[in-house]
Amino acid sequence: MTTTATRWVMTAPKAPMQCRQFDPQPGPGEVAVAVAGCGVCHTDLGYFYDGVRVNHALPLALGHEVSGRVALAGAGAEPWLGRAVIVPAVLPCGECDLCRRGHGTICRSQKMPGNDIQGGFASHIVVPARGLCPVDESKLAAAGLALEELSVVADAVTTPYEAVRRAGVAAGSLAIVVGVGGVGGYCVQVAAAAGASVVAIDVDDRKLDAMKPYGAALTLNAKTTDARALKAAIGAFAKSNALRATEWCIFECSGTAAGQLTAYGLLVHGATLSVVGFTMDKVEIRLSNLMAFDARAIGNWGCPPERYPEALALALEGKVQVKPFVERHPLAEINRIFEAVHHREISRRVVLTPN
């Protein structure tokens, strides 16, 4: 079967992406997914604008937040044909020692679309069938969501879901999210769904106001409030709400040096600092604070595919609202959209849709 497919490829950092045809034929154990939507992530901007290294040689289609429908299947993957799916942002091999011990996020043979393999800014994407997350379309319709809108579950929802889970957030926890655009906005919702009282911190009042109806019990602007005052305000909030003054769960989602310094400055005894955002910038901190507070810092590289159904359920059940925080644009406008997102002219998560 012959299928005409196109992808928008990066040929060099900052050079306009080009549309090129390719053959989407999957190999054994692989599928070709007809892309419904692909989200534009801060990581994509890092590859394109900041010189963050990709593992695949250029030209490369970026994009790792993909939802769609399986159009072609290689040998052994035929049961996936026609099914609506979310493609995990990181696909472990499932066979190595790390995978067998439950450490798929650090699998050395993992495949990340738009980094290790061709990504989702395309009409089709060829990926391993192992790890695909099926979407129940009856539940999708009942939730009032379109398949392309679920593309953001592949990273913007699942990554904070895994971070919240690993941090041990539960009823009675105090969760602090630094940077509440994109991934951080969903982190607020996921932490609230887990039972936490959530403090949202950002430098943009518009983003803070947007999170008030979606789980942010307290919002603070780090641009107008210094580090000492931020910590004092959170401490007062904890006291007035009968929350612990210790063991705060802090999520750095801004992907900025300033955000990382803010998050680190909020350490208290027994705190957990989860680094979810990424930046090439370096920061200077006193590492001994981790010792003095008996605190811990955790990196968060995506989410294991086996936990995607749990995160997807939050979106389909309305516990995490997706629709208010995404906006769709044609894939053909990718160069204009990248510029707009880079210059912060668009505040929602952009989902690019083919055709």
Q: Which is it for strands 18-22 and 5-9: parallel, antiparallel or unpaired?
A: antiparallel
- According to the model, what pLDDT value does residue 4 have? 85
Determine the Cα–Cα distance for residues 217 and 310; give it in Å rounded to an integer. Answer: 24
| Percent of the chain's residues with pLDDT above 70 | 99
The tens digit of pLDDT for each residue in 199-245 reads: 999 999 999 999 999 999 999 999 999 999 999 999 999 999 999 99
pLDDT at 133 over 90: yes
Looking at the DSSP bridge assignments, the partners of residue 42 are none
Determine the Cα–Cα distance for residues 342 and 355; give it in Å rounded to an integer. Answer: 23
Which of 258, 256, 261, 257 has its CA nearest to residue 273? 261
Residue with tokens 């495949």: 111
Stated pTM of the model: 0.95
The tens digit of pLDDT for each residue in 66-108 reads: 999 999 999 999 999 999 999 999 999 999 999 999 999 999 9
The tens digit of pLDDT for each residue in 138-185 reads: 999 999 999 999 999 999 999 999 999 999 999 999 999 999 988 999
Determine the Cα–Cα distance for residues 90 and 300; give it in Å rounded to an integer. Answer: 12
pLDDT at 347 over 90: no
pLDDT at 295 over 60: yes
Question: Which CATH class for the 5-154+305-353 domain?
Answer: alpha beta
For the chain, domain boundaries = 5-154+305-353, 158-299
pLDDT at 3 over 80: no
Helix (H, G, I), strand (E, B) or coil at 73: strand
Determine the Cα–Cα distance for residues 151 and 157; give it in Å rounded to an integer. Answer: 9
- The mean predicted confidence, pLDDT, of the chain is 96
> Domain 158-299 adopts which CATH fold?
Rossmann fold (3.40.50)
